[in-house]
Amino acid sequence: MRIGIKSLGCPKNFVDSEVICGELSEKGYQISNKINHSDMVIINTCSFIRDAVEESVEEILKLVKLKKEGKIKHIIVTGCLPQRYKDDNLKQEFPEVDAFLGVGELLDIDNAIKSVLQSKQIYKICPEPKFLYNHNTPRTILTPQHYTYIKISEGCQNNCTYCLIPQIRGKHRSRKIEDIIEEVKMISNKQNLSEIILIGQDTTLYGFDLYGEYKLAELLKKLSLLELKNLKWIRLLYTHPAHYTDKLIEVITKYPKICPYLDLPLQHISDKILKRMNRLVKKNDVIRLINKLRDRIPNLTLRTTLMVGFPGETNKDFKELLNFVKEFRFERLGAFIFSREEGAPAYDFSQQIPLRIKKERLKELMLTQQSISKKLNNGYLGKEVEVLVDEIKLGKAKISIGRTKGDAPEIDGKVIIKTDKAQVGDIIKVKVLEALEYDLIGELKE
């Protein structure tokens, strides 16, 4: 039986899709990358914000159309969408869908398939998910063979007022250090793994639930000391400014395998807005942390994510945010407008901002960052950078596409290299010849 799988949303959701594929492969199913030629399609959905919900619904409706045309036989919807809307009548909304499974039921996929084949419609969603995969959980790596995501924790308990993650994913829960290390060893033994990327809803909170203290620094140290054949880079995503420790900064500085790259979503800088968001930090805390990180970690690439249009954000608040971005000149920056999500506390906040103003603020912020990014990239002209090759483009001229230590896959910029001598997974030296707003162009350093 051929089963197609479609994964939506972030890398954290992508790992869940890999677990689903692993479980299916273990049970003897054939995984197909051609949705139109599958007997059954599993769609692993996202529902973090309205745009994600709309994308999930749109993709489900595409599958419904294929089913009606007789091109696929069965549809299973898993993940965040059914988990978020567990109390709504999704079966009535999408009668063509054969099964709905929440984020806590990943390993129940085989039973769901068997029930569907017996013409039973399944609706299985745990009110408070507690699932957390481990190194013994079947998992099929779907990223290119030279890098993979390692989910070190699940859930969140920061309770930001705009966010539904604690309701969807449950309370924060960490995997054991030994378990994570064993998984990295197992994957490295199976493939030429050059980079691992540690992810979780809040990676800096890692270990607190298990050990009574922050353990990310210890985990990073132990991963750095592993003697694995190809592993050269360890990257950290989704850190929270409230949970940094001096020990963590020291470890990042000390061990060269750890990329000097930190993903630090700040959301805003106005104390009034930070308080309304329940971000657990104030402006001065953020500034002290940024200065400390840049002082102590050489060649640091700092990525942040910001939100505009949060309820109560005045022109003064936005200008404060804009001036902050101009002053601190983040190497990488993403931004989005506040999405009013029913069920999140901020949904009922007063002083909601009109969409037109949100869009204007987002445009101004991103144009500001574009200029900053171009100037920072110009600083690489004529210099040598270390690049991990992700892809080879074949054509009249063979071109390699890769990333520096300061770039996460699918999120940040690329380095385009004019060479036919590189292989995917290689780490090479590149001389930068041209700088664009977000990407670099270079040649192989002889």
State the pLDDT at residue 218. Answer: 98
Inter-axis angle of helices 246-254 and 283-296, to 10 degrees? 30
**Side-chain-facing half-sphere of 348: CA atoms under 13 Å:** 3
- In the block, tokens 């607190």 appear at 208
- In the block, tokens 């353990």 appear at 215
The residue among 127 and 353 whose pLDDT is bigger is: 353
Measure the CA–CA gap between 139 and 75, rounded to whole angstroms.
Answer: 21
Tokens of 211: 């050990």
Judging by beta carbons within 10 Å of its beta carbon (0-12, 13-18, 19+), is residue 438 exposed, middle or buried? middle
Whether 397 shows a pLDDT value over 80: the answer reads no
Measure the CA–CA gap between 247 and 235, rounded to whole angstroms.
Answer: 17
What are phi and psi for residue 310, nearest 5 degrees?
Answer: -65, 145
The set of residues, in sequence order, having a beta carbon less than 8 Å from that of 103 and lying 6+ positions away, is 16, 78, 79, 80, 83, 129, 131, 168, 169, 170
Strands annotated E in 353-413: 384-393, 399-403
The mean pLDDT value for 287-294 works out to 98
The mean pLDDT value for 417-437 works out to 93
Query: pLDDT tens digit string along 155-192?
Result: 999 999 999 999 999 999 999 999 999 999 999 999 99
Query: pLDDT tens digit string along 226-266?
Result: 999 889 999 999 999 999 999 999 999 999 999 999 999 99
Measure the CA–CA gap between 397 and 364, rounded to whole angstroms.
Answer: 38
Check if the beta carbon of residue 79 is closer than 8 Å to that of residue 44. yes
Tokens of 110: 């085989």
Pick from 445, 14, 368: which is nearest to 199 by CA?
14
Query: pLDDT tens digit string along 26-78?
Result: 999 999 888 888 999 999 999 989 999 999 999 999 999 999 999 999 999 99
Domains with residue ranges and CATH for the chain: 2-124 (3.40.50.12160), 147-378 (3.80.30.20), 384-444 (2.40.50.140)
Check if the beta carbon of residue 6 is closer than 8 Å to that of residue 40. no
Decide: pTM greater than 0.85. yes
State the pLDDT at residue 116. Answer: 94
Query: pLDDT tens digit string along 77-91?
Result: 999 999 999 988 898
